[in-house]
Amino acid sequence: MMCSLDFVRKKMVFVVMLFPLFGLAQQTQQINPTVQTSTPKNKKVRKHELYFSWGYNKEWYTQSNVSVSQPSLGNSFTFANVKGVDHPGWENEQFFTKALSIPQYNYRLGYIINREKGWGVEINFDHTKWLFDDNQMVHIKGKLNNQPVDGQVLFANTVEGSDSSSYHYLNNGANFLLFNVVKRWSLFMNKKETIRIDALGKFGMGPVIPHVQVKYFDQPQNDPHFQLGGWNVGLEADLKVTFFQYVFLEYGNKLDYARYTNLKIYQGTDKQAFGTYEMILNLGISLPVGKAL
Protein backbone atom coordinates (compact mmCIF):
# COMPACT_ATOMS: atom_id res chain seq x y z
CA MET A 1 0.00 0.00 0.00
CA MET A 2 1.11 3.54 -0.74
CA CYS A 3 1.32 5.72 2.33
CA SER A 4 0.19 9.32 2.36
CA LEU A 5 2.52 12.23 2.89
CA ASP A 6 1.08 12.57 6.41
CA PHE A 7 2.07 8.97 7.16
CA VAL A 8 5.67 9.63 6.12
CA ARG A 9 5.76 12.81 8.19
CA LYS A 10 4.59 10.87 11.26
CA LYS A 11 7.34 8.33 10.70
CA MET A 12 9.89 11.13 10.37
CA VAL A 13 8.82 12.40 13.78
CA PHE A 14 9.06 8.85 15.17
CA VAL A 15 12.62 8.34 13.92
CA VAL A 16 13.84 11.75 15.04
CA MET A 17 12.34 11.17 18.50
CA LEU A 18 14.50 8.05 18.93
CA PHE A 19 17.74 10.02 19.13
CA PRO A 20 16.97 11.85 22.40
CA LEU A 21 16.17 8.46 23.91
CA PHE A 22 19.71 7.32 23.17
CA GLY A 23 21.05 10.29 25.14
CA LEU A 24 18.63 9.50 27.96
CA ALA A 25 20.06 5.99 28.13
CA GLN A 26 23.55 7.43 28.68
CA GLN A 27 22.24 9.67 31.47
CA THR A 28 20.59 6.66 33.09
CA GLN A 29 23.92 4.83 33.06
CA GLN A 30 25.61 7.75 34.86
CA ILE A 31 22.87 7.99 37.50
CA ASN A 32 22.72 4.23 38.10
CA PRO A 33 26.23 2.77 37.74
CA THR A 34 25.00 -0.70 38.73
CA VAL A 35 23.59 -1.10 35.22
CA GLN A 36 26.36 -2.73 33.19
CA THR A 37 26.61 -1.29 29.68
CA SER A 38 30.22 -1.88 28.71
CA THR A 39 33.08 -4.31 29.06
CA PRO A 40 34.77 -4.28 32.51
CA LYS A 41 37.84 -2.04 32.65
CA ASN A 42 40.17 -4.85 33.72
CA LYS A 43 39.46 -6.81 30.55
CA LYS A 44 41.41 -5.95 27.43
CA VAL A 45 39.39 -5.26 24.31
CA ARG A 46 40.24 -4.43 20.73
CA LYS A 47 40.15 -0.75 19.85
CA HIS A 48 38.21 -1.12 16.59
CA GLU A 49 35.36 -3.25 15.23
CA LEU A 50 34.51 -4.47 11.74
CA TYR A 51 30.97 -5.59 10.94
CA PHE A 52 28.85 -6.81 8.07
CA SER A 53 25.12 -7.43 7.90
CA TRP A 54 22.51 -8.54 5.36
CA GLY A 55 18.75 -8.23 5.52
CA TYR A 56 15.53 -7.10 3.89
CA ASN A 57 13.37 -4.01 3.80
CA LYS A 58 9.90 -2.60 3.30
CA GLU A 59 9.18 0.90 1.97
CA TRP A 60 6.51 3.59 1.77
CA TYR A 61 6.93 6.58 -0.53
CA THR A 62 5.75 10.15 -0.83
CA GLN A 63 4.04 11.19 -4.04
CA SER A 64 6.32 12.24 -6.86
CA ASN A 65 6.40 14.24 -10.09
CA VAL A 66 8.05 12.48 -13.04
CA SER A 67 9.28 14.93 -15.68
CA VAL A 68 10.01 13.66 -19.20
CA SER A 69 12.08 15.41 -21.86
CA GLN A 70 12.22 13.98 -25.42
CA PRO A 71 13.21 16.92 -27.66
CA SER A 72 13.42 14.89 -30.89
CA LEU A 73 9.82 13.72 -30.34
CA GLY A 74 8.48 17.12 -29.37
CA ASN A 75 7.75 15.95 -25.81
CA SER A 76 8.21 17.89 -22.60
CA PHE A 77 5.65 16.86 -19.98
CA THR A 78 5.23 15.93 -16.34
CA PHE A 79 3.29 13.13 -14.68
CA ALA A 80 2.04 14.86 -11.51
CA ASN A 81 1.55 13.50 -7.98
CA VAL A 82 2.34 9.92 -8.91
CA LYS A 83 1.71 7.26 -6.26
CA GLY A 84 4.64 4.87 -5.98
CA VAL A 85 4.81 1.46 -4.30
CA ASP A 86 7.57 -0.96 -3.46
CA HIS A 87 7.85 -4.61 -4.53
CA PRO A 88 9.11 -6.77 -1.63
CA GLY A 89 9.64 -9.79 -3.90
CA TRP A 90 8.13 -12.55 -1.75
CA GLU A 91 4.52 -12.63 -2.89
CA ASN A 92 1.85 -14.79 -1.26
CA GLU A 93 4.15 -15.53 1.69
CA GLN A 94 6.47 -17.57 -0.52
CA PHE A 95 9.46 -16.82 1.64
CA PHE A 96 12.92 -18.05 0.68
CA THR A 97 11.69 -19.51 -2.63
CA LYS A 98 13.70 -17.03 -4.72
CA ALA A 99 17.34 -16.06 -4.96
CA LEU A 100 18.42 -13.90 -2.02
CA SER A 101 19.21 -10.98 -4.33
CA ILE A 102 15.74 -10.77 -5.93
CA PRO A 103 13.67 -9.40 -3.00
CA GLN A 104 14.28 -5.96 -1.52
CA TYR A 105 17.56 -6.60 0.28
CA ASN A 106 20.12 -4.41 2.01
CA TYR A 107 23.63 -4.73 3.35
CA ARG A 108 25.89 -2.79 5.70
CA LEU A 109 29.70 -2.84 5.86
CA GLY A 110 30.95 -0.80 8.77
CA TYR A 111 34.00 0.02 10.83
CA ILE A 112 33.81 1.31 14.40
CA ILE A 113 36.84 3.56 14.68
CA ASN A 114 36.58 3.98 18.44
CA ARG A 115 34.65 1.28 20.33
CA GLU A 116 34.76 3.20 23.60
CA LYS A 117 33.22 6.37 22.19
CA GLY A 118 31.07 4.54 19.64
CA TRP A 119 32.02 6.43 16.47
CA GLY A 120 32.28 4.71 13.12
CA VAL A 121 31.74 4.82 9.37
CA GLU A 122 29.63 2.61 7.15
CA ILE A 123 28.80 1.71 3.56
CA ASN A 124 25.02 1.42 3.55
CA PHE A 125 23.18 -0.02 0.51
CA ASP A 126 19.44 -0.60 0.11
CA HIS A 127 18.10 -2.45 -2.92
CA THR A 128 14.70 -0.77 -2.86
CA LYS A 129 12.10 -0.89 -5.63
CA TRP A 130 9.78 1.85 -6.90
CA LEU A 131 6.88 1.37 -9.30
CA PHE A 132 3.86 3.38 -10.40
CA ASP A 133 0.96 2.15 -8.29
CA ASP A 134 -1.06 -0.48 -10.16
CA ASN A 135 -3.67 0.65 -12.75
CA GLN A 136 -3.22 4.27 -11.73
CA MET A 137 -4.71 7.19 -13.66
CA VAL A 138 -1.94 9.79 -13.71
CA HIS A 139 -2.33 13.46 -14.53
CA ILE A 140 -0.11 14.53 -17.43
CA LYS A 141 0.56 18.15 -18.30
CA GLY A 142 2.94 19.82 -20.75
CA LYS A 143 3.71 19.25 -24.41
CA LEU A 144 3.19 15.97 -26.28
CA ASN A 145 4.06 15.64 -29.99
CA ASN A 146 4.58 19.41 -30.04
CA GLN A 147 0.98 19.89 -28.86
CA PRO A 148 -0.29 21.06 -25.44
CA VAL A 149 -1.55 18.19 -23.28
CA ASP A 150 -3.50 18.21 -20.01
CA GLY A 151 -5.21 14.90 -19.25
CA GLN A 152 -5.03 11.43 -17.70
CA VAL A 153 -2.89 8.38 -18.55
CA LEU A 154 -3.36 4.81 -17.31
CA PHE A 155 -0.25 3.15 -15.89
CA ALA A 156 0.37 -0.42 -14.73
CA ASN A 157 3.09 -1.77 -12.42
CA THR A 158 3.45 -5.19 -14.05
CA VAL A 159 4.91 -5.61 -17.53
CA GLU A 160 3.57 -9.08 -18.25
CA GLY A 161 -0.15 -9.36 -18.80
CA SER A 162 -0.81 -5.64 -18.57
CA ASP A 163 -3.40 -3.91 -20.75
CA SER A 164 -1.66 -0.58 -20.23
CA SER A 165 0.65 0.80 -22.92
CA SER A 166 2.59 2.80 -20.31
CA TYR A 167 4.70 1.72 -17.34
CA HIS A 168 7.55 3.09 -15.26
CA TYR A 169 9.75 0.86 -13.09
CA LEU A 170 12.74 1.14 -10.87
CA ASN A 171 12.01 -2.51 -10.14
CA ASN A 172 15.55 -3.84 -10.28
CA GLY A 173 16.27 -1.08 -7.91
CA ALA A 174 15.77 2.50 -6.87
CA ASN A 175 19.02 1.56 -5.09
CA PHE A 176 20.14 3.91 -2.32
CA LEU A 177 23.89 3.95 -1.62
CA LEU A 178 25.00 5.97 1.40
CA PHE A 179 28.34 6.66 3.05
CA ASN A 180 27.34 7.04 6.68
CA VAL A 181 28.74 8.43 9.87
CA VAL A 182 27.68 6.13 12.73
CA LYS A 183 27.22 6.82 16.45
CA ARG A 184 26.60 3.94 18.84
CA TRP A 185 25.19 4.17 22.35
CA SER A 186 25.48 1.20 24.74
CA LEU A 187 22.19 0.44 26.49
CA PHE A 188 22.73 -2.88 28.25
CA MET A 189 25.09 -5.84 28.61
CA ASN A 190 24.62 -8.79 30.95
CA LYS A 191 27.36 -9.95 33.32
CA LYS A 192 28.34 -12.91 31.15
CA GLU A 193 28.55 -10.62 28.12
CA THR A 194 26.37 -12.98 26.08
CA ILE A 195 23.80 -10.30 25.29
CA ARG A 196 24.45 -6.67 24.47
CA ILE A 197 21.91 -4.06 23.39
CA ASP A 198 22.96 -0.92 21.55
CA ALA A 199 21.22 1.98 19.87
CA LEU A 200 22.71 3.44 16.70
CA GLY A 201 22.22 6.68 14.82
CA LYS A 202 23.37 6.98 11.21
CA PHE A 203 23.52 9.83 8.76
CA GLY A 204 24.95 9.94 5.25
CA MET A 205 24.86 10.92 1.60
CA GLY A 206 25.64 9.11 -1.63
CA PRO A 207 24.61 8.29 -5.18
CA VAL A 208 21.51 6.49 -6.40
CA ILE A 209 22.04 3.68 -8.92
CA PRO A 210 18.59 2.95 -10.40
CA HIS A 211 17.68 0.31 -12.92
CA VAL A 212 15.36 2.18 -15.29
CA GLN A 213 12.68 0.44 -17.35
CA VAL A 214 9.98 2.65 -18.86
CA LYS A 215 7.52 2.77 -21.75
CA TYR A 216 5.29 5.75 -22.50
CA PHE A 217 2.29 5.55 -24.83
CA ASP A 218 3.19 3.72 -28.07
CA GLN A 219 6.90 4.46 -27.86
CA PRO A 220 9.43 1.59 -27.74
CA GLN A 221 10.64 0.59 -24.30
CA ASN A 222 13.99 2.06 -23.31
CA ASP A 223 17.03 -0.19 -23.01
CA PRO A 224 16.65 -1.29 -19.35
CA HIS A 225 19.93 -0.88 -17.49
CA PHE A 226 21.55 0.39 -14.31
CA GLN A 227 22.42 4.08 -14.29
CA LEU A 228 24.30 6.42 -12.00
CA GLY A 229 21.52 8.95 -11.86
CA GLY A 230 21.40 11.35 -8.93
CA TRP A 231 21.91 11.47 -5.19
CA ASN A 232 20.22 10.70 -1.88
CA VAL A 233 20.54 11.60 1.79
CA GLY A 234 19.45 9.37 4.67
CA LEU A 235 18.88 9.34 8.42
CA GLU A 236 18.58 6.03 10.28
CA ALA A 237 17.88 4.93 13.86
CA ASP A 238 18.58 1.28 14.81
CA LEU A 239 18.25 -1.06 17.75
CA LYS A 240 20.97 -3.73 17.76
CA VAL A 241 21.10 -6.90 19.85
CA THR A 242 24.43 -8.78 19.86
CA PHE A 243 24.66 -12.41 20.98
CA PHE A 244 27.92 -13.96 22.25
CA GLN A 245 29.86 -10.86 21.13
CA TYR A 246 29.89 -11.70 17.43
CA VAL A 247 26.41 -12.29 15.96
CA PHE A 248 23.82 -9.54 15.96
CA LEU A 249 20.27 -8.74 14.90
CA GLU A 250 19.54 -5.14 13.94
CA TYR A 251 16.16 -3.47 13.43
CA GLY A 252 16.14 -0.06 11.78
CA ASN A 253 13.85 2.79 10.80
CA LYS A 254 15.15 4.99 8.01
CA LEU A 255 14.19 8.20 6.24
CA ASP A 256 15.64 8.86 2.80
CA TYR A 257 15.27 11.59 0.23
CA ALA A 258 16.35 10.64 -3.32
CA ARG A 259 16.62 12.88 -6.38
CA TYR A 260 16.96 11.18 -9.77
CA THR A 261 18.19 13.22 -12.73
CA ASN A 262 19.09 12.63 -16.36
CA LEU A 263 17.80 9.04 -16.42
CA LYS A 264 18.15 7.71 -19.96
CA ILE A 265 14.90 6.67 -21.64
CA TYR A 266 13.80 6.33 -25.26
CA GLN A 267 14.98 9.45 -27.13
CA GLY A 268 15.28 11.46 -23.93
CA THR A 269 15.54 11.63 -20.16
CA ASP A 270 13.46 11.34 -16.98
CA LYS A 271 13.82 13.05 -13.62
CA GLN A 272 11.96 12.68 -10.33
CA ALA A 273 12.37 12.94 -6.55
CA PHE A 274 10.65 11.30 -3.59
CA GLY A 275 10.92 10.69 0.13
CA THR A 276 11.00 7.20 1.63
CA TYR A 277 10.20 5.69 4.99
CA GLU A 278 11.89 2.32 5.33
CA MET A 279 11.85 -0.53 7.86
CA ILE A 280 14.90 -2.81 7.88
CA LEU A 281 15.82 -6.08 9.59
CA ASN A 282 19.40 -7.32 9.30
CA LEU A 283 21.44 -10.28 10.56
CA GLY A 284 25.15 -9.65 10.89
CA ILE A 285 28.54 -10.53 12.29
CA SER A 286 30.89 -8.28 14.23
CA LEU A 287 34.65 -8.78 14.58
CA PRO A 288 36.89 -6.88 17.05
CA VAL A 289 40.06 -5.72 15.31
CA GLY A 290 43.04 -3.50 16.03
CA LYS A 291 45.30 -3.08 19.03
CA ALA A 292 44.15 -4.47 22.38
CA LEU A 293 43.57 -1.86 25.09
> Could you report the per-residue pLDDT of 120-132, keeping only the tens digit for each?
999 999 999 999 8
- How far apart, in whole angstroms, are the C-alpha atoms of residue 265 and residue 132? 16
Q: What percent of the chain has pLDDT over 90?
A: 65
Range in 26-35, 56-65, 133-142, 259-268 with the lowest mean pLDDT? 26-35
Q: What is the value of pTM for the model shown?
A: 0.83
Contact, 245 vs 286, CB < 8 A?
yes
Residues 5-91+102-292, CATH architecture: Beta Barrel (2.40)
What is the pLDDT, as a whole number, of residue 33?
46
Sign (positive or negative) of CA dihedral 145, 150, 151, 153? positive
What pLDDT does residue 166 have?
Answer: 83
For position 155, what pLDDT does the model report?
Answer: 83
- Residue 141 pLDDT > 70: yes
Question: Who has greater pLDDT, 202 or 217?
Answer: 202
* Confidence class for position 133, pLDDT limits 50, 70, 90: confident
- Would you state the pLDDT for residue 34? 42
pLDDT at 35 over 90: no
pLDDT of residue 139 exceeding 50, the answer is yes
Which CA distances in Å does 256 have to 101, 126, 274?
21, 11, 8
Q: How confident is the model over 151-194, as pLDDT tens digits?
A: 998 887 665 544 457 888 998 999 999 999 999 999 999 999 89
* Residue 108 or 158, more confident: 108
The band of 3, judged by pLDDT with boundaries at 50, 70 and 90, is: very low
